[in-house]
Every structure is written in structure tokens, then in C-alpha cells.
Structure 1
């Protein structure tokens, strides 16, 4: 029991200080850009047709799903090309990027640079030569006859915006202007207080997490007190518990009932801070789940994930690409956490980074199911090709270890 409790407390602490505090700053920075520019970023993408694929890849490259999510409604509105959708989704590493950036930054630099290059190249190929889109469209139509509209016939005419479609109503948007915003004499002020305390913990966690990285990522014992170990433990556990509260309860009382969805704009700085806190709390919960699943699996079963991945050989990157086809960030965070523990090869991490779409696929699935499926297929193919190539060439040619590369 003591060992189980230790794993729980260490997962709460490490997940918050090593990952969530850095997530908070990144999400907040992106939100502040949206708040300050008031839509100028979207206008720039729409007005530069030949650079749309590149812009889409850059937005997808931003950690989290926010950058990629804002591109999907632009395709629905008919103002960006299908190749832009493919490049954006392919470059997206979702919320799992925060895990790798915090725990294996060198691996993140290589993996996401490769994913960006492969995705942008694929996007431009889709827009310029088609890559057999009509055949894929036909195959998807046979599998899903109820899928709405086409999934990218725009490529037949070269680079340009997707032809406008009539969706039977106003163009869908991913923005949620209002949340449930429930009222309670106790829980409403308590939730706002928890939000403020959460940011105090986030700032403290960022300082402690930075010191942790500067020290080379040493083992930190569970402790209390005013020393580094004590503050690392107390702030980490407190921040994780506050994140759980905001995710489960608090978001319903501060107007942020929906999570994992980008916002077109924000009303105020406080609104921006609130959104960043709720999004980060969502990531924190999934990070904790991933940490606990891995740690308890190893503790209770003696499972050696690295050994299994080693025996899988070239199937490891293919399997990681298959996992990337699952919409949402949860499975991808789990895979990233396993890599950070030295349990997966670098080729698998990169293949997953290309194949996964995070939460950005959900808005597209809701309004154009076929386009979402076709885009996923186009991301899966380069993911397998690049993953297998890295598996065969990475260690022999570059002399770098497949397992544990870039992990602190």
C-alpha cells in the first residue's frame, strides 16, 4: 500500500511541475495572441492562399490542439485548401507535445521538425497533384455512404480554397461563446478562488520546474518544508489537486464548460487566463492518467514495455501510427509518457506525431466526416513511411539510440 501511495503522490507532483506548469504558459501565450490580434491571425491565413499549407503546418506545430482547431472551420467556410487541412493535422502533436517538450526536449525538436516537414510536403502534394484523392474519396464513400460532401476534390484545380458548400445553415464554428456558467452561492466563488490559486501554483511550478531542468532532472524525494524538495512536492500535489477540481467541478461555474476547444477571441485578460487554466487542467488529468497507467502497470505486473517494443521491431512505428488514428489526446499522451520512460523507440514517437490529430479532428468530423477520414488517411501514410525509415536508418546511420533518445 505504501508503494502504491508513493506512486500516486509522485505522479500527481511530477505531472504538474514537470508538464502542466509549462503547458499553462504555452496555452496562455497562444490565448494572449488571439486576444491581442482579435482575429488578425485567421485573416492572414485566408488572404495568403499559396502560403496556407505552410501557415497550417506552423499552427499545427504549436503545442496543444488550439492552433490546429482554428483551421478546421476555415476549410468548412471554403477559405483554405484541403492540403492545408492535411498539413495542419499532420503537423499537430496535440497535448502529448507538452509531455515530450517537458521530459525529452531534444527528442521533441527532432520529431516535430520531421513531422512538420513531412506534413507540409504532403499538404502541397495533395493540393498540386491530388495523390489519388478521388480514389480515396470513392473508397470512403463506399465505407461511409452517409458522410457529407466531398473530402478534397479541390486538389483537381491546383492550390486554392475549397469550393463553398451549402451545409444547410450558418458556417459552423468551434468557438463556444458561453459555457454552462452555473450559479451557486458556494461553488461559484469557490471555483473562482480555485482558479486564482491554480495560477499561483502554476507560476511557482514553472519556477520549480525550470530549476529542476537546470539541475539536470534529478530524482526528487517526497518531502515537505521550505527547501526545494519540499516546495517541489507541495506545489506539485496542490496544483494537481486544483487541476482535478477545475476539470471536474470548477469549469462549470466560471463559464468554461467546454474543454479541448479553441476560442476565436477572448473578452478580457481574465477570460484568457480562465480558458488557459481550464485547458491545462484537462491536459493535467490526462497526463496523470497516463503516468498512473504506466507506473502501476510496471509496478503490479513487472511489465517491461521497452523490451516488448524492442521485440516488435519495425512494427513499433506502425503500431504508433495506428494509435495516432484515434481521435483525441488521451491515447497520444499515454504513448508520449511511455516514450519519456524509455519504453518506445524514437521512430514510434515520430510516426505517432505525424499520424495523430489530437482534438483538432473533432470539429471536422462533426460537419464533414469524409474530409476528416480522408485527411487521417493522408496523415497515416507518411507516418508509416517516415516511421519505418527512421527505424531502419536512425541508429545505424546517425549513431543515435532509438530508445531514450533526448530523454532528460
Structure 2
């Protein structure tokens, strides 16, 4: 068991670290993709809808972008029926996640090979899912027996998992804020816009702190309120998560769409583009913090040591790397990437983890369509095992980075 003080420390550190290590990077990638969508007036989405054969490739390329922003963009497109289920699998399998920033900073050559393999495996498997099914329908039905979908309905789309997502895009539209008077409503609108603007200021500060954190080799960061790097990291993390909670639980019902994970064809203005990106990132932030807390409390309560477990796996290290990727979010994957950079796990395990991990992109899908999320994460594990075991058998001495084992 852990004491109250240790539990409180885990909570505060997780709230802080989740925003700087993950959300700040997610924000910049999501807003970039949203801005491209705005500038092209939604033509990219319509092009994908009209060219189904390109969808898994597009999903893989979206997932390949460092961080999870590209893959996050793909999830609402599936929910509304614009892209296939194979595209979701390709995007999640190719997702570099936030651990990519660690590998890019500490072992860039390893990142090129690992995420290149993830792209090829993800796209190939995505096309296979769309073309031949590969049993997705059976897995879909099996998952359906475990628990009922959040709601009934859905949208028709080209996919083999019974042809549709299991919930409509309005799944959480009821989370809007009802005001009793027009005056109260106007006050909330003004406050929410102010919080939105402040959120971007803090996100920019968090991005600066996150980049510096990686530049320093991902060190332990002390909790500090001072005009220092530690102070910037701490303030940006705590304030950023607080503002994200407001935008997710209150702001999205006042100045947002009211529902999370909604695909947009285009936006009315640059401000609206940034607002949508902030709302989406705020949703991801909440899920990221939950994932961080579950992971950190599990490590503390059960005395888990990923490094020791990976070292003990030996020849089973690729399987261990793939299994770790089943855990949603980037927290354990960031730890795993750091272990690789320190030479504690082999490249085969990193490769398997690179394919298996779904990063934060799985959270929007979990929030809207848990059934599809479970099926997708099961299926990204299959190419991960193929790649990891293949590297172990046919490229056993591959090593890239600083002191990495073969």
C-alpha cells in the first residue's frame, strides 16, 4: 500500500507531467492539421471520402507524425463514416506517439527505422483489414457480447467490422451547460473565451518546457514555483491541466460543439480553428491524466519495474513490447522509449512497441466508440508481434543510439 502523502504526490506530478509531456505536443499537431483543413475548406476530407483506396495510406501518414495529433484527427472521421476501419488500424499502428519525441531526441536513427517499420506494417495491415477482413467481424461481435455499445446507431462506412461505428457522433452532446438566464450565459461565454485564449498561452509555455525537457534528456523534474525551467514546467503543467478541465467540462458546452471527437469539414475562421483544437486537446488531456494516474498508481502499489520486466523477458522482449502497447496513452511508452535509449531493451522490443502503441489517439475513439477502440487496439498488436519477432529473428544485432543492446 502507499501512504496519503505519496498518493497526493503521484496525483500532482501526474497532473503536471501529463500536460507538458503530452498535451502541449498534441495541441500543436492538432491545430496544424485543423488549420490545413480550414485553409483548404475541407477539400482534403472530401478527397479521402472520394478515394477509398488511399484511406489506409493516409491514415498511416497521419499516424506517423510525431505525437498523436495526426492520428487523433483520423478518429472522428471514422466515427462519422468518412474513412474505413482499416484506416483506423493503419493510423493507430503507425502512430509514433509522444514517445517518438524521446527517441528522436536521444536515438534519432532508431526512430527512423522503428517508425518506418511501423508505417509499412500499419498501412499494409490496414489494407488487409479492409480487403479481407482478417476476422475483424468475429472480434467485433465478441467484444459486443462483453458489453453493450454506449448507444445504438452509427454511420455507414466502408469497413468489415459490421459496416459501422457502434455509436453516433453526438454521443456526448448532452454535456452542454444550461444557463438559467441570458446574463449568466453571456458571462459564461465571456469567461470561456478568456479561458480559451489563456489556454493557448499556457500551451505555448508548456511546449517550450516540453522541448527543453527533451533537450535535457528527459530528466526528473522537481516540483518548483520559480523563474526556472523547473518552475516553467510546473506552472505550465498545473495551470494547463486546470484550464483543460474547464474547457472539457464547461467550455465545450458554452463556446464549443458540445460533443467531443467531432469531425469538422472546415472552420469559419482562424479563431474557430484554434478553439476546436483546444477543445479536442482538452478532451485528450483529461484522458491522458486518467491514464497517467492509473499507470503511476499501479507502479506504486504493485512495485512494478518496466525496465526489470523488459530485461527479464529476454527472447520474449518483442512480445513484451507489443503487450505494453496495449495500454492506452503515452505514459508507459515514454518510459519504454527512455529504457531503450539507456540500452535496457533491444531494438526488436522498441519496434514491436512502436507498432502496437496507439498513443493518445485511442482516447477520442474510446470516448465515442469504446467497442471500435477495443477492436482496433487488439488488431494493432498483430502486426506489432510480426514486426518485433521478425526483427528479433532476422535482424538480431540491430542497435541504434547510445549504448543500446542488440
Instruction: Settle same-fold status: TM greater than 0.5.
Output: yes
Contact 2:59 2:88 in 1 (8 A): yes
Q: 1:28: which partner in 2? A: 31
Render the CA deviation track for 1:291-310: whole Å, top value 9, x for unaligned: 34444444455432221233
Matched, 1:193 2:194: yes
Number of the residue aligned with 2:102: 103
RMSD of the TM alignment (CA)? 4.5
- 2:176 alignment partner in structure 1: 180
Structure 1 match to 2:330: 333
Does the alignment pair 1:12 with 2:15?
yes
The 5 Å alignment of 1:367-406 reads 379-392=380-393, 396-400=396-400
Higher deviation after alignment, 284-293 or 15-24:
284-293
2:72 paired with 1:66: yes
CA–CA distance in structure 1, aligned partners of residues 10 and 142 of structure 2: 48
- Structure 2: give runs of 5+ residues left out of the alignment: none
Instruction: Specify the SS of the correspondent of 1:397.
Output: coil
Judged with a 3 Å threshold, the aligned counterparts in structure 2 of structure 1 residues 404 and 247 are, in CA distance, closer, same or farther, namely farther
Kindly provide the CA deviation profile for residues 168-216 of structure 1, in whole angstroms up to 9, marking residues without a partner as x: xxxx768999973543455443333222211111112222333333444
CA apart distance, 1:28: 0.8
Matches within 5 A, 1:8-407: 8-48=11-51, 50-62=53-65, 63-64=68-69, 65-69=71-75, 71-72=77-78, 76=81, 84=87, 86-92=89-95, 97=97, 99-105=98-104, 106=108, 109-125=112-128, 130=132, 133=133, 180=176, 182-183=178-179, 184-185=184-185, 187-299=188-300, 301-315=302-316, 317-318=318-319, 321=322, 331-340=328-337, 342=339, 345=345, 347-348=348-349, 350-355=351-356, 358-359=362-363, 379-392=380-393, 396-400=396-400
CA distance in 1, matches of 2:143, 2:225: 58
**8 Å CA contact retained: 1:18, 1:102:** no
2:195 counterpart SS class: helix
Gaps of 5+ in 1: 149-153, 155-160
Q: How many residues are matched?
A: 373
Q: CA deviation at 1:59?
A: 2.9
Cα distance in 2 for partners of 1:305, 1:166 equals 38
Give how far 1:34 is off.
1.4
Separation of aligned partners in 2, 1:375 and 1:251: 27
Whole-Å separation in 1 of the counterparts to 2:118 and 2:328: 18
